[in-house]
């Protein structure tokens, strides 16, 4: 990774799902598919390696959120069963995709900012 230091914050790039270098080009095609390179500055996204990080964070956050919402809906408001179905089967997947986009873009921006990459032995 030989790109220059980013001028924008990783949180800003993550929230807007934009390029971690210029903050202008979109990171994703459709929902979660990565582009090959930035359409604005040409940054090659081959360095991106977030692994399972965004999914793990999303699982913990969504698990806590969905159980909290379900328990509050049941015990505080006593909603009927079909409201639980709407919340858990329709709303939570939408929140999951939005959360995954934000988390993946933020982790990519943090990886870019901190120049995190696989360790290698120095030769030459």
Instruction: Please report, as ranges, the residues that interact with Zn ion according to CB under 5 A.
Output: 19, 21-22, 25, 38, 40-41, 43
Q: Between residues 10 and 25, which has the closer beta carbon with respect to Zn ion?
A: 25
Tell me the DSSP string of 3-32.
PPPPSS-HHHHHHHTB-TTTS-SBSEETTT
Q: From the CB of 70, what's the least distance to Zn ion, in Å?
A: 40
Q: Between residues 22 and 32, which has the closer beta carbon with respect to Zn ion?
A: 22
Q: From the CB of 58, what's the least distance to Zn ion, in Å?
A: 25
CA-atom Rg of the chain in angstroms: 18
Q: Between residues 19 and 99, which has the closer beta carbon with respect to Zn ion?
A: 19
Q: From the CB of 42, what's the least distance to Zn ion, in Å?
A: 7
Its sign, for the CA torsion 31, 37, 42, 43, is: positive
Alpha-carbon distance 27 to 100, whole Å? 13
Q: From the CB of 111, what's the least distance to Zn ion, in Å?
A: 15
Q: Between residues 32 and 40, which has the closer beta carbon with respect to Zn ion?
A: 40
- Could you tell me if 66 and 95 are in contact, meaning their C-beta atoms sit under 8 angstroms apart? no
Query: Reduced to 3 states, what is the DSSP secondary structure of residue 33?
Result: strand
């Amino acid at each position: 990774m030989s790109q220059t230091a980013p001028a924008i914050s990783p949180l800003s790039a993550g929230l807007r799902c934009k390029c971690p270098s210029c903050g202008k080009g979109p990171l994703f095609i459709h929902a979660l598919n990565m582009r090959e390179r930035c359409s604005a500055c040409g940054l090659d996204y081959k360095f991106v390696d977030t692994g399972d990080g965004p999914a793990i964070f999303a699982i913990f956050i969504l698990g806590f959120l969905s159980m909290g919402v379900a328990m509050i809906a049941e015990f505080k408001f006593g909603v009927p069963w079909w409201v639980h179905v709407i919340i858990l089967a329709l709303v939570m997947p939408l929140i999951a995709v939005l959360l995954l986009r934000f988390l993946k873009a933020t982790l990519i921006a943090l990886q870019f900012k901190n120049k995190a990459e696989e360790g290698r032995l120095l030769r030459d």
